[in-house]
Amino acid sequence: MNKNNVLKQRVLGMKNWFLKRTLFVKALIIIAAIGTVWLGSRLLFPSTAAKVQYVTATAQRGTLIVSVSGSGQVSTANSAPVYTQASGVVATLHVKEGDMVTAGDKIAEIELDLSGKQNSAQAWSNYQSAQNNLNNAQASLYTLRSSMYANWDTYNNITQDGKYTNSDGSYNNDNRLLPEFIESQDNWLAAEAKYKNQQGVVNQAQTSLNAAWLAYQLDSPTIYAPISGQITGFSLQVGSVISASSSQSSTTQTNTKIASVKTTAAPTITINLTEIDVTKVKEGNKATVTLDAFAGKTFTGKIVSIDTSGQTTSGVTTYPAVIQLDTQEPSMLSNMSAQASIITDIKNDVITVPSAAVRTTNEQLTVQVMKNGKPQSVTVTTGASSSTDTEILTGISENDVVVTSTTSTATTSSSSTRSVFSSFGGGGGATRISR
């Protein structure tokens, strides 16, 4: 082999060696880069695995308060409006806001306009007519009573006659079938029936007179207090004008509210109950009431009535229940919104768990109980329940740890990775039972 060929082979070998070395170095660089990226991703984004954690509670023995809730408003049971149908100008005020009045007391005097005078005169005429009817009815009553007594005397005298009574005092039934005896008896019975009927006529006439007087009071130039209590919402002033409602065709009378009279009775709360809850509530059930207007304050009371006929609005039926409060609250006003919790049952010395722990599995009620760190499903029977807790009759013992819910969390699966994070000050553990 000549020198030139040897030289060429050496040069070629050197080139191949440098090429292989360069490829090897590049491969090392690529492998190192991939490793760096992988390690960084493991450090920054460690692999995770789902870990189930159990939220638990302890079965407790104690008192279970069963209640139903509803919303409603303060009713107007402790106040009455003061109305007038008179029209004109207020001339005199006999009371002011906050004054105490007795039923029938004068509140104000009105100088009637022409329409008001006409209506008042008509109402007074109706009252006088009702008074006359009552007088006539009473006069007829006196006449019928006199006739009844006269017919009674006649009948009583006949019954004492020996013709109709035997010597031993027994009735002579044969003679008592004679026309003159029957006629006397019928006259007395008819007179008695007419008298009793006229008593009803007198009562009706008295009622009509009362109604006519109340109607006159509405049209009277004097406004009267309808009940005894405290004047509230008094809107009149001397010189105020009270007008009748009018149209192009006629002028009509309307009730104008000028005040209210509030009694000392504790206010009532009307709560609307659902179809499901109304069957659980009874008169006398205790209740707690809160109002938006009295933040942080709770009132107590009891159910005094339930409207079992209900009322339907937009296809939804509710049943109003009235709660009588135990105490007065002067600043509580009619129609304020209220929420009530009505206690329907109190069970002492029972085992309860949170209602969230009770599940239905294969048409059976079950509760998961933690045993040796793992949940085991237990069949239970339940009793009463409140909005948060359920009574357990069988299947659970006091102090058993039950599962109320489960959560699934992501935790690091490599201890070496957790150590790396710990070195950066991270990490923390949940207090819930997990596996």
pLDDT tens-digit profile, the chain (435 residues): 555 565 566 656 666 666 666 666 666 677 766 766 656 655 555 555 567 788 899 999 999 988 898 999 998 667 888 988 888 999 999 999 999 999 989 999 999 999 889 989 999 999 999 999 999 999 999 999 999 999 998 888 888 777 877 777 787 887 888 888 888 889 989 999 999 999 999 999 999 999 998 888 888 899 999 899 989 889 889 998 988 665 445 455 678 888 989 888 777 899 999 998 999 999 999 999 999 989 889 999 999 999 988 888 888 999 999 999 988 777 888 889 999 999 998 889 999 999 999 998 888 999 999 988 889 999 999 998 887 899 999 999 999 999 998 887 655 444 333 333 233 333 333 335 555
CATH label of the domain that carries residue 197: 1.10.287
Is 251 a member of any domain? yes
Together in a domain, 339 and 362: no
Residue 167's domain comprises 87-256
- Residue 320 CA to residue 278 CA, distance in Å, equals 9
Together in a domain, 131 and 202: yes
Together in a domain, 153 and 249: yes
Burial class, 50, CB count within 10 angstroms (exposed 0-12 / middle 13-18 / buried 19+): exposed
Together in a domain, 104 and 245: yes
CATH label of the domain that carries residue 404: 2.40.420.20
Among the candidates 236, 256, 276, a domain finishes at: 256
CA 421 to chain centre: 57
Is 245 a member of any domain? yes
Helix extents (H) in 220-319:
275-278
Together in a domain, 126 and 274: no
Together in a domain, 311 and 222: no
Residue with tokens 């659902």: 274
Handedness of CA 38, 40, 41, 45 (dihedral sign): positive
Together in a domain, 94 and 220: yes
Together in a domain, 301 and 320: yes
Is 13 a member of any domain? yes
Together in a domain, 340 and 203: no
Tally the domains of the chain: 4
Among the candidates 348, 379, 413, a domain finishes at: 348
Which of these, 255, 17, 283, 25, lies nearest to 119 by C-alpha position?
Answer: 255
| Paired residues of 111 in beta bridges | 89
Cβ pair 221, 109 in contact under 8 A: yes
pTM for this one?
0.52
Together in a domain, 279 and 222: no
Is 62 a member of any domain? no
Together in a domain, 122 and 241: yes
